[in-house]
Amino acid sequence: MDLPAGTRNYTYAQDMAIFRTKTHWAMLIALLVILFTAPLYWGNYWLGVANLIGITIIAATGLNILTGYCGQLSIGHAGFIAVGAYTSAVLTNRLDLPFLVGLICAGLTAGLIGMIFGIPSLRVKGFYLAISTIAAQFIIIWVISHWSGVTGGYTGISVPPASIGGITFISQSSQFYLIMVITAVVIFLAKNLARTRAGRAFVAIRDNDLAAEVMGINLFRYKLLAFFIGCFLAGIAGSLLAHWVGFMSVEHFSIADSILYIGMIIIGGLGTTVGPIFGVIFIRLLQQGITFIAPLLEGTFDLPAGFTTGIGPMVFGLAIILFLILEPRGLAHRWQLFKASYRLWPFSY
């Protein structure tokens, strides 16, 4: 980690610290204070947007562990989120189990399903894996939409609001606290996971899986672990989504969403902890902007009727392409550059 001039590490604990200087701590506390007092001065609409962003950050962090750190491309992430959402919905709606049980089971089920579809990753990679995860997405959605006895099929399933120990999270602001706490915990764990043995093994596998195996990394174990963790977080996000929306149907989990998740982590920056956060905020705010501005433009300039539906995918596709060509390391890299120049300011080096 780059440190301000004059700050030196004298112990290993200092070297390992995520928040090293007093300024870091002050900024962290300021961020948390602003975040957790947000419901006081944000309207319900923006709290809803923030909730969606929080849920998406959890899912994108999972995908980032799988794709960004371990290098296993998954284009079926929305399918795994669907598994989590429906597990939680079925457990709490049909079996009347508490929310926390549903949340944990959602993560575990999604993780297990992810591991099953991750087994081909032991023999193939790259395009083959991408296709098998696309296949996973279609098979999962097909099963969910036809197993109507359990999942409600095309008509969908209603989900009771989340409640923990007597507190029911119904309003946007109460759900905001629930989602933000879980998001913060997930980000913290993801940051630390990257620095453990498993995280380093993931990076080794991403950079060259053959070399990693020769160095003594058990590919079977770590690739499946990456799939499990990535899909576990997808399941958690799915469960939160189900309880937040209150009603689940398969339209929430299309292949386009899976591609959008990939786009988010690419725009944010693969293999960094802040990457998914930046990417998710970028894409979700872009979506908000487009839903706001597209009808206005269409009305003002008398554009053809397809403009409003077509402009969204076009902008996202273009964003993914441009980021890959112009800034493949994503917004996280820009953030690094900004921090470095901020530290040295007003000198150039």
Beta carbon of residue 145, minimum distance to another protein (angstroms, whole number)? 8
Which DSSP symbol is given to 5?
T
- Rounded CA separation 162/172 (Å): 12
CB of residue 307 vs another protein: minimum separation in angstroms? 6
Member of 41, 127, 301, 349 binding another protein (CB under 8 A): 127
Question: What angle do helix axes 127-146 and 77-93 make, rounded to 10 degrees?
Answer: 30
| One-letter amino acid for residue 203 of the chain | V
Conformation bin of residue 335: beta by default, left when phi > 0, alpha when psi is -120 to 50: alpha
| Beta-carbon contacts of residue 208 (< 8 Å; ≥ 6 apart) | none
CA 153 to chain centre: 26
Closer of 45 and 142 to another protein (Cβ): 142
Q: Report the DSSP beta bridge partners of residue 167.
A: 164
What type of residue is 31? Answer: L
Judged by CB under 8 A, the stretch of 5-13, 27-35, 144-152, 275-283 that binds another protein is: 144-152
Among 21-29, 107-115, 128-136, 278-286, which window interacts with another protein (CB under 8 A)? 128-136
Give the footprint of another protein on residues 307-326 (CB under 8 A).
307, 309-321, 324-325
How many chain residues bind another protein (CB under 8 A)? Answer: 55
Cα separation, 169 vs 242, whole angstroms: 13
Tokens standing for residue 8? 């030196």
**Cβ count within 10 A of residue 141:** 20
Which is closer to another protein, CB of 105 or CB of 290? 290
299 part of the interface to another protein, by CB under 8 A:
no
Q: Which two tokens stand for residue 102?
A: 């549903």
Query: Which residues in 247-266 contact another protein (CB under 8 A)?
Result: 256, 259-260, 262-263, 266
**Minimum distance from residue 158 beta carbon to another protein (Å):** 22
In the complex, least distance from residue 201 CB atom to another protein, rounded to whole angstroms: 17
Q: Is position 71 an interface residue for another protein (rule: CB under 8 A)? A: yes
Q: Which residues bind another protein (CB under 8 A)?
A: 67, 71, 73, 75, 117, 119-120, 123-124, 126-128, 130-132, 134-136, 138-139, 142, 145-147, 208, 210-211, 214, 256, 259-260, 262-263, 266, 270, 304-307, 309-321, 324-325, 328
